[in-house]
A and B are shown apart, each in its own frame.
Chain A
Amino acid sequence: MTIAYQTFSDPQAASRFLAERREARLLGGGTILVRRVNEGDISIGTYVRLLGPELRQIDVADDMVRLGAGVTMSTIAKAPALAFLAPVARSIGGPAVRSAATVGGNLFARSPHGDFGVALLVLDAVVSLESLEGFRELDLQTFFKSRTQLARGSIVTAVRFRRPMPDDFRFVKISRVKPNGAAVLSIAAVVSRTEGRVSAARVAFGAMAKTPVRAHALEAALTGAALTPHEIERAVASAVLDTSPSSDAIASEWYRKAVLPVHLRRLLWT
């Protein structure tokens, strides 16, 4: 009736264990898993804790960033090399949640949660995945599309991405409960500007679908657009095209779609 706690330092061994044991689950910050156990989920019988310094490490070399899956939001919020991500990390719950919540765990958070994944998605992050088939890397878009069908025993060990140009990265999380309640929606954008025009744009949304999603139509509409109210307004009109938000306790599908262009325009224009 107690729950076993099993540690591994070899991701492959952990992966094998998880694949073999239906009742075993990989533990991140506990915000999802321990809560489920506390609430009476008896399908969970073993916590699997993956150890190893690289899991909790932030590596920055040139402009490439590697975040171990166990890096917490509070660590990111304090990392000087990742100052642009600090507002994202700080938007995720109160400080006590942030000192538990991990990068890896956030990639599995269900909408409307998972705002850090939105930022990673817009950064074109690549996920390091350990499974029975061995090590592989998945781009984050593919990861989000397939995260519910990952083979048993799959473990996210790290993400890596290129640091954007200073000032290109923008993020906003709209919460009703301030300062950092659950998202009505969140938007991350990397927009490069040259001579008053958008030269390249990547935009991702949180809480606008079951997982964070990239706004491809919007990105296309933005690229080449002049940074004028009129052209931005024209571009943001296509924002909802790549979205399929749900209704939940925070906001309805209708409301999310209605205000997405507003918040997007404000994020891009201000």
Chain B
Amino acid sequence: MEIRKSYFADERHDDLKEIGQSRQRSDTAGHVRGITPFYADRRIPGLLHLRMVRSPHHHARILRIDTSAAERHPGVKRIIVAKDVPHNVYTMLSLINFGPEDEPVLAFDKVRWLGEPVVAIVADSERGAYEAAALVRVDYEELPAVFDVEDALKPGAPLVNEYHGQNYFRYDSGASRKVKLGDVEAGFQRADYILEQRYDSSPIEHAPTETTGCIAVPDQNNRLICYTPTQAIFFTLDHASIILDIPGQRLHLIGGTAGGAFGGKVDSTVEPITLLAAMLTGRPVAFIYSRYEEMQISSARAAERIYIKDGLTKDGQIVARQVRCYMDSGAYSRLSPYGAQKTAGHFPGPYTIPNVEIDCYCVYTNRTPSSSMRGFGITIADFALEVQMDKLARIIGMDPLEFRFINAYRDGDMKAHRQLTEGAALIECMQETSVWANWPIESRFLKMSSRQKRA
């Protein structure tokens, strides 16, 4: 990897002693000896194991939950159902005052996705927990389910989540987070070409090699320790204290080492219930997702559907861009309403376009809730944007890289969300790539600068 110091040389400082040096990582020596302590490496005597009884249906009413046979199973220490959870219905975004509480820790009236937790079994062995789980009887009445984001928004679609009352998250701007600049219709009028395209993605899993989980241990002084790979110690702590309805000072979270996370370990879905199990039993409890759970139960990167409509002039200016984006949040919000909002702020991409209209919807369907993942709100948008850019260039017979230079944002340009561009460097990245990869472009583009004001 080469650092090309000729770019922005006057803005760089090279007089630093530690910064810019490839110091060895402090943790690698532990990694290669296998002594880095991950949460599941804590050896705690008397550890109990938690397993979930999960919904076998995508959408169903719960008629009856019978745990009596499971309770009698030897080795079972505690069965936990919704009523045992002090603050059962929560939303993680409540910590930043965002949206209604919409998700139960344990389902009680309805299940809204295949795999939703209904009953937690705490037993003295994994096997014992599995055996007891098989003895739990839950009667369901299946309900029609909806899996497609646009179907979910049609009149008459099954209502996924009653806490929202409709199958989308309601922003203060309405059904979608909106960004508007200029007048797109006027822009389309001015355009020589219009291109409207649809882009889709399927859910993607973080797939960290270490599955999500935690170990909760009752401590002295009426406190609880939780060994966790959470990406956000205090986010998880605050969240657990809300769900358990106990003051935060009773909780002591110890983490800081994750066997991969990629955004999937922000959710805090395991810590509250495991802490509760430790409180209810007075014993240390481990809840470790199986690989199946990691694949299908832990949040995914949301599937998205994105429509982009562009107005283009013959000389390569994008004069209007209209985007409708649907983020498939699954049955609950988790962090998706925030992600959809981030997407809205990201469009129309790193390009200066005078007329922009963005609508990003966070849509509820009967699938595994989605949440943050590396590139949250951006990755799929960039896929759509950059394929669209390629198509636009080809419409007018222009080189796709040169086309990007024409439209690339520069310092001082007004963005759609009304911030002036600062610190732009897209042009320089493209210049270096062009030269290095031998992708020829006209010399005028090699002379451009992100710091040069647009004419």
Chain A residues close to B by CB (< 8 Å): 1-3, 39-40, 42
Q: Interface-forming stretch among B125-133, B341-349, B374-382?
A: B125-133
Question: Can you spell out 15 A-B residue pairs with CB atoms less than 8 angstroms apart?
Answer: A1-B74, A1-B125, A1-B127, A1-B128, A1-B131, A2-B127, A39-B292, A40-B51, A40-B130, A40-B133, A40-B290, A42-B127, A42-B130, A42-B131, A42-B134
Extra 17 A-B pairs, beta carbons < 8 Å, given A39-B290, A40-B51: A1-B74, A1-B75, A1-B125, A1-B127, A1-B128, A1-B131, A2-B127, A3-B127, A39-B292, A40-B126, A40-B130, A40-B133, A40-B290, A42-B127, A42-B130, A42-B131, A42-B134
Minimum CB–CB distance from A77 to chain B (whole Å) comes to 26
A221–B285 CA distance with the chains assembled, in angstroms: 64
Q: Which residues of B lie under 8 Å from residue A42 when comparing CB positions?
A: 127, 130-131, 134
The number of chain B residues with a CB under 8 A from chain A is 13
- Chain B residues 113 to 145 lying within 8 A of chain A, measured CB to CB, are 125-128, 130-131, 133-134
A63 to B235, CA, bound (A): 68
The residues of A that contact B290 with a CB separation of less than 8 Å are 39-40
Enumerate chain B residues within 8 angstroms of A40, measured Cβ to Cβ.
51, 126, 130, 133, 290
Kindly state the separation between the CA atoms of A33 and B127 in the bound complex, as whole angstroms.
Answer: 15
Complex CA distance for A1 and B131, rounded to whole angstroms = 9
Q: List the 5 shortest-distance A-B pairs measured between CB atoms, nearest first.
A: A40-B130, A1-B127, A42-B131, A1-B128, A42-B130
Residues of A within 8 A of B127 (CB): 1-3, 42
- Alpha-carbon distance A42/B126, docked complex (angstroms): 11
Residues of B within 8 A of A2 (CB): 127
Q: In whole Å, how far is A247's beta carbon from the nearest beta carbon of chain B?
A: 15
Alpha-carbon separation in the docked complex, A2 to B133 (Å): 16
Complex Cα spacing A167 to B75, Å: 60
A36 to chain B, nearest CB (A): 11
How far is A1 from B130 in the complex, measured between Cα atoms in Å?
10
Alpha-carbon distance between A3 and B128 when the two chains are bound, in angstroms: 12
B124 to chain A minimum Cβ distance, whole angstroms, is 9
Q: How far is the CB of A230 from chain B (nearest CB, A)?
A: 38
> In whole angstroms, how far apart are the Cα atoms of A42 and B51 in the complex?
14
- Complex: how many Å from CA A205 to CA B411? 60
Taking CB atoms, residues of chain A closer than 8 Å to B75 are 1
Give, as a whole number of angstroms, the nearest-CB distance from B50 to chain A.
Answer: 13
- Nearest-Cβ distance from residue B69 to partner chain A, whole angstroms: 14
Instruction: Specify which chain B residues have a CB less than 8 angstroms from the CB of A39 in the assembled complex.
Output: 290, 292
Query: How many Å from the CB of A176 to the closest CB on chain B?
Result: 15
* B51, B126, B127, B128 interface centre (most CB from chain A within 10 Å): B127
B135, closest chain A residue (CB): A42
Q: Name the residue of chain B whose CB is nearest to the CB of A37.
A: B127
The distance in angstroms between the C-alpha atoms of A40 and B54, with both chains bound, is: 13
Closest-CB distance, B381 to chain A (whole angstroms):
26
Chain B hits for A1, CB < 8 A? 74-75, 125, 127-128, 131
Give chain B nearest CB distance to A154 CB in angstroms. 27
In the complex, what's the smallest C-beta–C-beta distance from A31 to chain B, in angstroms?
14
Max chain B C-beta neighbours (<10 A), residue from A1, A2, A3, A42: A1
Q: Which of B124-173 contact A (CB under 8 A)?
A: 125-128, 130-131, 133-134
State the Cβ distance, A249 to closest chain B Cβ, in Å: 10
Separation in Å of the B114 CB from the closest CB of chain A?
16
Minimum CB–CB distance from B75 to chain A (whole Å) comes to: 6
Give the distance to chain B from A32, nearest Cβ to Cβ, in Å.
Answer: 15
B residues 36-89 near A (Cβ < 8 Å) are 51, 74-75
- State how many angstroms separate the Cβ of B419 from the closest Cβ of chain A: 42
Minimum CB–CB distance from A78 to chain B (whole Å) comes to 28
Given the complex of chains A and B, what is the CA–CA distance between A3 and B127 in angstroms?
9
Beta-carbon nearest neighbor of B124 in chain A: A1
Q: How far is the CB of B290 from chain A (nearest CB, A)?
A: 6
Alpha-carbon separation in the docked complex, A42 to B132 (Å): 10
Residue of A nearest to B127 (CB): A1
Residues of A within 8 A of B131 (CB): 1, 42
Chain B 394-441 interface residues, beta-carbon cutoff 8 Å to A: none
Please, which residues of chain A bring their CB within 8 A of the CB of B134?
Answer: 42
B129 CB to closest chain A CB (Å) equals 8
In the complex, A40→B131 CA distance in Å? 8
Q: In the complex, what residue of chain A is closest to B292 when comparing beta carbons? A: A39
